[in-house]
Amino acid sequence: MAAKSKTDHRPVAPALLRWYDKHARVLPWRSRPGEHADPYAVWLSEIMLQQTTVATVGKYFRDFMQRWPTVEQLAAAPIDDVMKRWAGLGYYSRARNLHACAVMVAHDYNGQFPDDEAALQKLPGIGPYTAAAITAIAFGKRATVIDGNVDRVVTRLFAIEMPLPLSKPEIRAQAETLTPDKRAGDFAQAMMDLGATICTPKSPSCNRCPLTEVCDAYAQGIADTLPRRAPKKPRPVRHGACFFVTRPDGAVLLRKRVAKGLLGGMMEVPTTPWLDAAAEDYSEFAPLKAKWKKRMGLVEHTFTHFHLILTVFVGAAGAKEAAKAGGVWTAQDELAGEALPSLMRKVVALAMPDEGPLFSKQSKK
């Protein structure tokens, strides 16, 4: 249930839309204020933006739109190509769902995204947030879009002191009351822009905000203390090792991870299971017989639910031994174009310190 506020928040939508008409961020997937965007571009950008910043998504979005300008072209692309172009964006189940969704829209919907939230949520990878965003932004229909920025802005407008995530139902109820019947897509993007540029997590710039007169947190002088958050549990730490092995022609052994689960379907430098404690000896997991040398330093990577620390071993395999190994031997100058997630790019960087970061090479492909 929405808490009672004495403030009349009806001026929020008109004031914010006036501000948006002047100050909307220019983003590659965006139409101009007042215009509807291409549903394919909105969907693609929204999937990429889940858990990922606007700054990171830009080049990936442009690359996908250039390679696959329509949903039919994306549907026709081999999944391995999609995974390769997604490498580095993280949360790889998104890429598999992206492709599955493109196939479904191309085949079952004649290449047209449905324009209502319920139908959109039946498509792979589209949850309530993305369905609302596509409905509002691409089709201009009323839908309440709530992302992290909107959580923060609404929490402050209504001075909601209950900590996140407990306050989510109240935030939704209050956000519903703010959403206008017209220009719902612009309103959603305006809320996101306000949260990203003015009502920022630390030190909000209230002196530049178009909503100060209707903001309860501002009136009470508590804006920068909101939203409150329930204390987080410490992230568990897991440990493992990777085996970076070359054969006589310099090719490197990679393996494809199983399709389901973390980094599913992506390529990897052969790795051990990730364990709750560091092992004394990882040799039983080595992909082949070789003289393994431990690299100085460790690879560390933080996933949503745990932190991972990897030891990296390097080795050289003879031709006979290499022929027996399962996996894919990949030329070193082709590593950058492989579907290697960021974690594995860090492993390669530690194993081949003179080669520089793989991401800069990938962009040339």
CB atoms within 10 A of CB 234: 7
The least CB distance from residue 222 to ligand SF4, in Å, is: 9
Q: Please give the Cα distance from 152 to 146 (Å, whole number).
A: 10
Per DSSP, 260 falls in state S
Contacts 24+ apart (CB under 8 A), 136-139: 136/184, 136/185, 136/187, 136/188, 137/36, 137/37, 137/42, 137/185, 137/188, 137/189, 138/36, 138/37, 138/38, 138/39, 138/42, 138/43, 138/113, 138/185, 139/36, 139/39, 139/115, 139/185
The least CB distance from residue 250 to ligand SF4, in Å, is: 55
Residue 218 in the binding site for ligand SF4 (CB under 6 A) = yes
Residue 19 in the binding site for ligand SF4 (CB under 6 A) = no
| CB contact burial 113-143 (16+ within 10 A = b; e otherwise) | bbeebeebeebbbbeeebbbbbbbbbbbbbb
Q: Please give the Cα distance from 215 to 153 (Å, whole number).
A: 9
Q: How far is CA 54 from the centre of its chain?
A: 10
The least CB distance from residue 216 to ligand SF4, in Å, is: 8
Count the site residues for ligand SF4 by CB under 6 A. Answer: 14
- Could you say which of 138, 171, 192, 211 contacts ligand SF4 (CB under 6 A)? 211
**Of 41 and 188, which CB lies nearer to ligand SF4 in the complex structure?**
188
Let me know if 321 is a catalytic residue. Answer: no
CB atoms within 10 A of CB 363: 10
**Of 104 and 173, which CB lies nearer to ligand SF4 in the complex structure?**
173
Q: Please give the Cα distance from 222 to 294 (Å, whole number).
A: 52
**Of 57 and 215, which CB lies nearer to ligand SF4 in the complex structure?**
215
Q: From the candidates 46, 117, 268, 338, give the one annotated as an active-site residue.
A: 46
Q: Please give the Cα distance from 117 to 127 (Å, whole number).
A: 9
- Could you say which of 206, 237, 262, 279 contacts ligand SF4 (CB under 6 A)? 206
Segment 320-339, which members bind ligand SF4 (CB under 6 A)? none
Rg value, the chain, Cα: 24
**Of 60 and 218, which CB lies nearer to ligand SF4 in the complex structure?**
218
Element (H, E) at 170: helix 168-178
- Could you say which of 171, 198, 317, 339 contacts ligand SF4 (CB under 6 A)? 198
Kindly report whether the peptide bond that precedes residue 39 is cis, defined as omega within 30 degrees of 0: no
**Which stretch, 19-27, 170-178, 212-220, 347-355, contacts ligand SF4 (CB under 6 A)?**
212-220
The least CB distance from residue 176 to ligand SF4, in Å, is: 18
The least CB distance from residue 129 to ligand SF4, in Å, is: 21
The least CB distance from residue 34 to ligand SF4, in Å, is: 23
> Do 85 and 67 meet the contact criterion of CB atoms below 8 Å apart?
yes
**Which stretch, 16-24, 207-215, 260-268, 339-347, contacts ligand SF4 (CB under 6 A)?**
207-215
Q: Please give the Cα distance from 330 to 313 (Å, whole number).
A: 18
- Could you say which of 13, 75, 132, 217 contacts ligand SF4 (CB under 6 A)? 217
Contact pattern for ligand SF4 over residues 134 through 173, marking x by CB under 6 A: -------------------x--xx----------------
> Do 244 and 75 meet the contact criterion of CB atoms below 8 Å apart?
no
Q: Please give the Cα distance from 275 to 287 (Å, whole number).
A: 18
**Which stretch, 19-27, 56-64, 197-205, 308-316, contacts ligand SF4 (CB under 6 A)?**
197-205
- Could you say which of 48, 49, 143, 223 contacts ligand SF4 (CB under 6 A)? 223
**Which stretch, 78-86, 215-223, 320-328, 337-345, contacts ligand SF4 (CB under 6 A)?**
215-223
The least CB distance from residue 217 to ligand SF4, in Å, is: 5
* Residues found near ligand SF4 in the complex (CB under 6 A): 153, 156-157, 198-199, 204, 206, 209, 211-212, 215, 217-218, 223
Q: Give catalytic residue positions.
A: 46
